Chain A
């Protein structure tokens, strides 16, 4: 398991996967819309990954491929990976895919490697060349991990410039947040 306290790792596991129940289950209300407090064998629903994974290990459910890895997305990624809006599909596209691949569809791995290779180049390129104003539209397409990469590339560039030009060494502690406007 990834770091127990890691926020991102918790959020990844909250992504939903389609499941089919292989066992009948009593005393739970999976679907808020119905009143019945049980689940029948063979019924379908969506569960967050953390729950689906544990139930899958005990053969209580079978996991299907979620929408963000469907055929349509695959075709789009093959066409031009750099322009696909992965964030709206799944903000943790790669991490989620890695967790999911061994459970339902091994070919997800290849898809991830292919998409990442192409988008990696694009992200680094944009991070070093694009002006901030123009970047915001591009940033909307990136997953969480790609955004971190983009920020890392930019901050290393900024650190390099600061090293070359010089500047104040001591600064307001970043954990205090942005400077508030002085009350006049």
Chain B
């Protein structure tokens, strides 16, 4: 069926949980591209046939014209599917920079594995642009939007994070299950990555 591969690719994207990343489906992605080339070849063949029969390619509406039209439409459809796939992933990747961390290595490993090479590049460049901008205006834009009541918060460490981690005002031994009283701005990034949780009481 026509442009079916593109549909499968989008279906793959839609099956994942909303707003979350699936591994980049390299295999299917290439199949869609191949199908595009196939449509293009058949389109060309039909146009050539029309030229050989020396009919006016622009004006004639014969069986070959409609055949070429179908291949043309399938090509455009597949293109839309490919663009949508890349675009929607890129949006999620951007939000990683805003919500999780600006360095690729700060992202959890299982997320890093899901990115393709060019997506990793994209993430790096987006982060760099963001960092440059934030340095220019002198404001951290990726912290919590609501002004805190207290600059310090109580947190519990959920994962072993190692010893002697350098925070802005001290170094701390963040062993698993230990509780700490940290500067909110220090803790925010760890909470976003799921390494700590905020305690309220």
Residue positions of A touching B, CB distance < 8 A: 4-8, 10-11, 14, 23-28, 30, 32, 38, 48, 50-51, 54-55, 58, 60, 166-177, 179-180, 182
Q: Can you list 22 A-B contacts (CB < 8 A)?
A: A4-B84, A5-B83, A6-B84, A7-B10, A7-B13, A7-B84, A10-B81, A26-B66, A26-B67, A27-B68, A28-B42, A38-B63, A55-B70, A60-B69, A168-B200, A170-B192, A173-B192, A174-B19, A175-B20, A175-B95, A177-B17, A177-B20
Task: Check B197–A26 contact: CB distance below 8 A.
Answer: no
Nearest chain B CB to A57 CB, angstrom units: 11
Contacting pair A5 B84 (CB below 8 A): yes
Min Cβ gap B199→A in Å is 8
B57 interface contact, C-beta 8 A: no
CA distance A177 to B192 in the complex (A): 11
Q: Which residues of B contact A182 (CB under 8 A)?
A: 158-159
A26-B46, A175-B100 known; A55-B144 Cβ under 8 A: no
Asked if B191 and A172 make an inter-chain contact with CB atoms under 8 angstroms apart, the answer reads: yes
- Is B125 interfacial (CB 8 A cutoff)? no
Known: A170-B187, A176-B111, A180-B110. A10 touches B194 (CB 8 A): no
At the interface, yes or no: B198 with Cβ under 8 Å from chain A?
yes
Alpha-carbon separation in the docked complex, A182 to B197 (Å):
14
Q: For residue B158, which residues in chain A have a CB less than 8 angstroms away from its CB?
A: 182
- Structural contact, B83 and A173, CB atoms closer than 8 A: no
> Which A residues are in CB contact (< 8 Å) with B7?
10-11, 14, 48
Residues of A within 8 A of B3 (CB): 48, 51
Q: Cα distance A12–B62 when bound, in Å?
A: 30
A168–B144 Cα distance when bound, in Å, is 12
Main secondary structure of the interface of B (DSSP, over half): helix
* Bound Cα distance A182, B159 (Å): 8
A176–B11 alpha-carbon span in the complex (Å):
21
Q: Complex Cα distance A8/B11, Å?
A: 10
| List of B residues within 8 angstroms of A171 by Cβ | 191, 198
Knowing that A24-B63, A51-B73, A176-B111 touch, tell me 20 more A-B residue pairs with CB under 8 angstroms: A7-B84, A8-B14, A23-B61, A27-B63, A27-B68, A30-B2, A38-B63, A48-B2, A51-B3, A51-B70, A167-B200, A169-B198, A170-B144, A170-B153, A170-B188, A170-B191, A172-B192, A172-B193, A176-B100, A177-B17
The 10 closest A-B pairs by CB, nearest first: A27-B67, A26-B63, A168-B198, A172-B194, A25-B66, A173-B99, A5-B87, A24-B63, A26-B67, A170-B191
Query: Which residues of chain A are within 8 angstroms of B66 by Cβ–Cβ distance?
Result: 23-26, 55, 58, 60
A134 to chain B, nearest CB (A): 23
CA A13 to CA B54, docked complex, whole Å: 36
Closest A residue to B160 by beta carbon equals A182
Would you call B64 an interface residue if the criterion is a C-beta within 8 Å of the partner chain's C-beta atoms?
A: yes
In the complex, whether B128 has a CB less than 8 A from a CB of chain A is no
Taking each of B68, B77, B100, B110, which has the highest tally of chain A beta carbons within 10 Å of its own beta carbon? B77
> Which residues of the partner chain B approach A24 to less than 8 Å between Cβ atoms?
63, 66
